[in-house]
């Protein structure tokens, strides 16, 4: 380790301890409210990545920082309930994803909010601009709409005979509507017929697949908290309907989708801890620009491909970040 890095690390630890000491004198540790969009079993590893990075920055859970975990279980009506609880607890910062962040923003202009993942923070109204977010909110964009064409390109490379594409989205989430429109426009540009299927609750998923059966040759899934919480169910129903599925995040492929391409979520949650570190040390969210992903993953589920009788091109296997066998 270089001497300057060692000194910087010691200084960071000292600053965190000093801050925590002041908070303890006031009778309260600095507190982070972590609003998970689904369940601990589905996205608990995102929280783990966040806490690990906090630890590296000198914030030790239970010693000089407290983390209050709440899980919405894929139900958007829970966002306001949890945000209200965090406001009552007077947490020092709220960490979550795009949909819940938008709800929390409407409920408090005082408590800093960090979104670790947001599909389109500008288009959905989370921030005034990426360079100068304004207000009490900032975080990381996943650029789902920017990578839509790449996902369709990868899907068509595997399903070379694809003519009819289904798109599944939770239309109660504004950013999902934007990505659905982008996917629809992109698919039509390359000559695909498109059928869109809209859901708003978990109860809509099974009936949607009944309607979808036989009407498409592949499925593009638009990500949001509802989809995330039900990705195993969606992948299972799609497999039963003999539909190859493309997701914008690796967890979708891990759940049984054919492939995924998009930002690495655990990496984004790690980076969100850097925002929290700065905010706990006094930086205002308005002064912290929204950052873009630096790591994109292509994940291929070879087991699903074999089940569907699809031949995976060697060129894709060669560039995949992970191949699930």
pLDDT of residue 258: 98
Supply the pTM of this predicted model. 0.81
Residue 206: count other Cβ atoms within 10 Å of its Cβ: 11
Written as one string, the DSSP assignment of 73-111 is: TT-THHHHHHHHHHHHHT-SEEEEEHHHHHHHHHH-SSS
d(CA 21, CA 63): 10
Q: Which residue do the tokens 């909010």 mark?
A: 113
CATH topology classification for 3-142+264-295: Rossmann fold (3.40.50)
CATH topology classification for 145-263+297-324: Rossmann fold (3.40.50)
| Of 17, 112, 11, the residue nearest 65 (C-alpha) | 17
d(CA 46, CA 36): 9
Burial of 103 (0-12, 13-18, 19+ CB in 10 A): buried
pLDDT tens-digit profile, the chain (325 residues): 433 343 344 444 444 444 444 444 445 899 999 999 988 988 899 999 999 999 999 999 999 999 999 999 988 899 999 999 999 999 999 999 998 999 999 999 999 999 999 988 888 889 999 999 989 999 999 877 778 999 999 999 999 999 999 999 999 888 888 889 999 999 999 999 999 999 999 999 999 999 998 899 999 999 888 898 899 999 999 999 999 999 998 999 999 999 999 999 999 999 999 999 999 999 999 999 999 988 899 999 999 999 999 999 999 999 999 999 9
pLDDT of residue 51: 97
**CB–CB of 142/123 below 8 Å?**
no
d(CA 143, CA 165): 21
Alpha helices (H) in the chain, listed in sequence order:
3-25, 40-56, 77-89, 98-107, 148-158, 174-189, 205-212, 225-229, 231-240, 250-254, 265-280, 302-307, 314-319
| Of 138, 86, 91, the residue nearest 117 (C-alpha) | 138
d(CA 157, CA 315): 10
| Every domain of the chain and the residues it spans | 3-142+264-295, 145-263+297-324
What pLDDT digit, counting tens, does each position of 64-87 carry?
Answer: 999 999 999 988 899 999 999 999
Please check whether the two domains, 3-142+264-295 and 145-263+297-324, share a CATH topology: yes
| Of 143, 139, 126, the residue nearest 295 (C-alpha) | 143
pLDDT of residue 27: 54
Q: What end-to-end distance do the CA atoms of the chain give, in Å?
A: 38
């Amino acid at each position: 380790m270089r001497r300057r890095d060692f000194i910087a690390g010691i200084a960071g630890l000292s600053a965190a301890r000093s801050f925590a000491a002041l908070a303890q004198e006031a009778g309260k540790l600095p507190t982070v409210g972590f609003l998970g969009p689904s369940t601990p079993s589905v996205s608990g590893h995102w929280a783990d990545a966040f806490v690990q990075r906090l630890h590296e920055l000198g914030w030790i859970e239970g010693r000089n920082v407290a983390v209050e975990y709440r899980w919405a279980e894929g139900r958007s009506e829970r966002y306001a309930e949890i945000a209200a609880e965090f406001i009552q607890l007077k947490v020092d910062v709220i960490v979550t994803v795009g949909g819940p962040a938008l709800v929390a923003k409407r409920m408090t202009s005082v408590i800093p909010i960090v979104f670790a993942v947001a599909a389109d923070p500008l288009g959905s109204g989370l921030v005034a601009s990426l360079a100068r977010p304004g207000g009490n909110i900032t975080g990381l964009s996943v650029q789902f709409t920017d990578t839509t064409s790449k996902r369709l390109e990868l899907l068509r490379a595997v399903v070379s005979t694809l003519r009819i594409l289904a798109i599944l989205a939770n239309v109660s989430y504004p950013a999902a509507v934007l990505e659905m429109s982008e996917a629809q426009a992109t698919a039509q540009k390359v000559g695909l017929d498109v059928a869109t299927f809209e859901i708003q609750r978990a109860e809509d998923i099974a009936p949607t697949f009944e309607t979808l059966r036989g009407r498409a040759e592949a499925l593009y899934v638009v990500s949001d908290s509802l989809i995330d919480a039900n990705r195993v169910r969606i992948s299972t129903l799609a497999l039963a309907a003999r539909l190859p599925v493309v997701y914008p995040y690796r967890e979708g492929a891990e759940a049984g989708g054919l492939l995924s391409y998009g930002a690495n979520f655990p990496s984004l949650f790690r980076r969100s801890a850097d925002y929290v570190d700065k905010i706990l040390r006094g930086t205002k969210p308005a002064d912290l620009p929204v950052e873009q992903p630096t790591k994109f993953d292509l994940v291929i589920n070879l087991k699903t491909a074999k089940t569907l009788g699809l031949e995976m091109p060697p060129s894709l296997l060669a560039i995949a970040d992970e191949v699930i066998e």
